[in-house]
Amino acid sequence: MDLKRLFLKANNDLESTDGKGSTRKIICKKCKKRIAVSRIRNNHFVCPECGHYFQVRARRRILMLTDRRSFIETDRELSSKNILGFPEYDDKLRAAMEKSRETEGVICGEGEIEGHRVCLFSMDSNFMMGSMGAVVGEKITRLFEYATVRHLPVLGITVSGGARMQEGMISLMQMSKVSAAVKRHSKDGNLYIVLLTNPTTGGVDASFAMLGDITLAEPGARIGFAGPRVIEKSLGKTLPKDFQRAERVLECGFIDAIVPRCEQKKYIAKLLKIHGM
Amino acid sequence: MGKNVVRTNEEYSTVLGARSENRLTATDYINALIDDFIELHGDRLFGDDRAVIAGIGFLGDIPVTVIGIEKGKNTEDRIFRNFGSAHPEGYRKALRLMKQAEKFGRPVLCIVDTAGAFCGIDAEERGQGRAIADNLAGMSDLKTPVISVVIGEGGSGGALALCHSDRIWMTEDAYFSVVSPESCANILWKDTARADEAAKALCLTADKLMKLGLIDRICRKGKLKELSDNLKDEFKKLMQMKTEDLIEARYQRFRKVGYR
């Protein structure tokens, strides 16, 4: 148990500053090479050897996309409760908070991108796979309502396994709640840009991830409704390699553009500029 | 040691009952509730989804649009209906006809009975996620009343896509869940045999959901005359509301879920 924890930290912590500073190295999952953490961090969390996209934490995403010191977080104090008394959920929440050092699976707030004011939400895959419970739904809904009143654009960065089972129908109905808030924001003529990152699936895919005016994705990101293993099992055959990958989803007509990580900030700034935001 | 015996409890029995084959399906409800039913086909984009039966007719003296997810009556029919699992076209047909209902000022009745939206390569590549999302957003400001009745299975997003309504009703023997209890048990405990525990934990029965304030009425099973009267009364009430008030109330109905 303790050992597992250690591994978790050692593995995904491109973020930690553990005294060794920039000399620390990790092994890239894809090319298996040992690479200095500093090199990966300086390369937008993309492997400088093979181009593998490392997971980026929600807070890091915001730092990467917004102007220095422009971001002001909202609703950080909201944290989940075990409303249904679901077994083991309290422990899971505690572990997720410890692992992610966040209060919930989404960070919301307002900031600037190359001087353009924008409301942002950024999901965190380290918090119970970015699953959406009542608090995630509430925070994103509040953000859209805030942006509607102030006529601000919203930029959403999604990563999620879908609705959070431990909150039952309450979590499923967050899809309805957020979608309705997105619609109100849209009807008032406001811009919503969504950046889909790996993976964006389930109830998040089937709601606000698919409701953007402009839908962007990271290269290779898995984007889909049903889990690939579920489909594989029900069909009894292996799936095509590009199935539910951003490139294929674009071919199918559901994404406007795939934008490499190093270009995202400029790209989004340009979109905001064209919309006169 | 008893490996083939399905462990069960009250909640899981409800789930298994909701899946059983000798139950009333959407067609039975349409036949019993609607006079002069005329079926309308197709999403005008790709095709016609046979898992979704939609059309117009009279509920008493009220012209209504009806959308039902149909599981089928016998093996052949169930295959024809894809076992009540809709592709994106099914949801798009539903939204098309809801918009039509809005145009002509007809209220909409949705009859929901599905294990879930279909999981397959085609369904994914034609935008299952987008189709469901569009229904949620599109229904959220529909300028005509919508009542959804879950009559059997309320399987996750595929059922929710027809439930962004002014009223969500359930028959007493139906369930509505974020995930099937088997998948839930498999994901959490790697053991589908614990589906009974999962069913209990998920609070998926009508009475639990009523207590949580997530649904608005529990309908007695098999009492279609009673359901018909209740629908007529409720639609009449909703049709008297000003459109802005109706839409605002629908917004608030979902707005308060989970966080008050």
User: pLDDT by residue (tens digit) across A28-80?
Assistant: 989 999 999 999 999 999 999 999 999 999 999 999 999 999 999 999 999 99
B260 in any annotated domain: no
- B36 to chain A, closest Cα gap in Å: 33
Question: In this predicted structure, what is the pLDDT of residue A3?
Answer: 47
Query: Rg of chain A over CA atoms, in angstroms?
Result: 18
**Segment A215-226 mean pLDDT:** 97
Task: Kindly give the interhelix angle for B243-255 and A168-187, rounded to the nearest 10 degrees.
Answer: 140
B5 in any annotated domain: no
Q: Which domain holds residue B101?
A: 10-253
B162 in any annotated domain: yes
B196 in any annotated domain: yes
Contact of B161 with chain A, judged by CB distance below 8 Å, is answered with: yes
Interchain proximity A172–B254, CB inside 8 Å: no
Based on the number of CB atoms within 10 Å of its own CB, is A77 exposed (0-12), middle (13-18) or buried (19 or more)? Answer: exposed
B3 in any annotated domain: no
CATH topology of domain A55-274: 2-enoyl-CoA Hydratase; Chain A, domain 1 (3.90.226)
- AA identity, residue B238: L
A158 neighbors A61 (Cβ within 8 angstroms)? no
Q: What is the CATH number of the domain that holds B219?
A: 3.90.226.10
User: Using CB atoms, which residue from B178, B187, B251 is nearest to A180?
Assistant: B251
Task: Phi first, then psi: give them for residue B28, nearest 5 degrees.
Answer: -60, -40
Per DSSP bridges, beta strands B108-114 and B62-69 are: parallel
B177 in any annotated domain: yes
Query: How many alpha carbons lie under 13 Å from residue A2 in its C-beta half-sphere?
Result: 0
Q: pTM for the full model?
A: 0.95
B259 in any annotated domain: no
| N- to C-terminal Cα separation, chain A | 50
> Is the confidence at residue B239, as pLDDT, over 90?
yes
Question: In this predicted structure, what is the pLDDT of residue A12?
Answer: 53
Structure-token pair, residue A3: 């050992």
Q: What is the pLDDT of residues B125-148, one digit of tens each?
A: 999 999 999 999 999 999 999 999
User: Using CB atoms, which residue from B124, B136, B177 is nearest to A225?
Assistant: B124
Confidence band for A2, pLDDT divided at 50, 70 and 90: very low
Domain count along chain B: 1
Beta strands, E only, B41-166: 52-59, 62-69, 108-114, 146-155
Contact of A239 with chain B, judged by CB distance below 8 Å, is answered with: yes
Find all residues with CB under 8 Å of A53, minimum gap 6, and list them. A45, A46, A47, A198, A218, A219, A220, A261
Question: In this predicted structure, what is the pLDDT of residue A19?
Answer: 55
Contact of A174 with chain B, judged by CB distance below 8 Å, is answered with: yes
> Is the confidence at residue B217, as pLDDT, over 80?
yes
Structure-token pair, residue B190: 């790697």
The closest of A105, A108, A107 to A130, measured between CA atoms, is A105
**Segment A11-19 mean pLDDT:** 61
Contact of B127 with chain A, judged by CB distance below 8 Å, is answered with: yes
Tell me what the pLDDT averaged over chain A comes to.
Answer: 92
> Is the confidence at residue A22, as pLDDT, over 60?
no
**Please, where in chain A does CATH 3.90.226.10 lie?**
55-274
Kindly state the DSSP code that residue B153 receives in the 8-state scheme. Answer: E
B258 in any annotated domain: no
User: Using CB atoms, which residue from A137, A168, A226 is nearest to B177?
Assistant: A168
Contact of A163 with chain B, judged by CB distance below 8 Å, is answered with: yes
Q: Is the peptide bond before A153 cis (omega within 30 degrees of 0)?
A: no
B92 neighbors B45 (Cβ within 8 angstroms)? yes
Contact of B170 with chain A, judged by CB distance below 8 Å, is answered with: no
Structure-token pair, residue B199: 């069913």
Interchain proximity B164–A253, CB inside 8 Å: no
Interchain proximity A175–B128, CB inside 8 Å: no
> Is the confidence at residue A10, as pLDDT, over 50?
no
Question: In this predicted structure, what is the pLDDT of residue A17?
Answer: 59
Alpha-carbon span A23 to A41, nearest angstrom:
12
- AA identity, residue A84: L
Question: In this predicted structure, what is the pLDDT of residue A237?
Answer: 85
Structure-token pair, residue A146: 């805030």
